[in-house]
Amino acid sequence: MRILLFITLLLTSTLSAEYTQKVKMPSITFKMAEDDNFKAMQRNCQWCHSYGYILNQGKQSKEFWNKSVVKMREVYKAPISVKDEITITNYLFKHYGNGKLQ
């Protein structure tokens, strides 16, 4: 019984810990190239993470970008249509491509 009381006290004591100072979170805006296909990218790629994830990859091949878009759909379950997949891949390769298909 005493051990149960001890465990209960131990568990609940951490819950009452409080942080009183103001925390300022940095806000970073990642700007991406705007063209006719930007909207498709905007519609599909900003729900879960910032554009920073995309920009941080640097210049990449068309295959890389296509694999990234497909990964978002198949692994992370982003509802990206096949039409948008093609549009976004072309958009990413046009603005953030290294000129290589593979």
> What stretches of the chain adopt beta strand conformation (E)?
none
Locus of tokens 């951490």: 14
CA 38 to each of CA 2, 11, 13, 20, 57: distance values in angstroms, whole numbers, following the listed order = 63, 49, 50, 42, 18
Q: Near ligand HEC by CB under 6 A, which window of 19-27, 30-38, 64-72, 93-101?
A: 64-72
Nearest distance from C-beta of residue 65 to ligand HEC, angstroms: 7
Q: How many chain residues bind ligand HEC (CB under 6 A)? A: 17
Rule CB under 6 A: is residue 38 a binding residue for ligand HEC? no
Rule CB under 6 A: is residue 45 a binding residue for ligand HEC? yes
Rule CB under 6 A: is residue 40 a binding residue for ligand HEC? no
Nearest distance from C-beta of residue 60 to ligand HEC, angstroms: 9
Phi, psi for 43 (deg, rounded to 5): -65, -35
CA 30 to chain centre: 12
Nearest distance from C-beta of residue 41 to ligand HEC, angstroms: 6
Rule CB under 6 A: is residue 30 a binding residue for ligand HEC? no
Rule CB under 6 A: is residue 96 a binding residue for ligand HEC? no
State how far the Cα of 101 lies from the Cα of 62, in Å rounded to an integer: 5
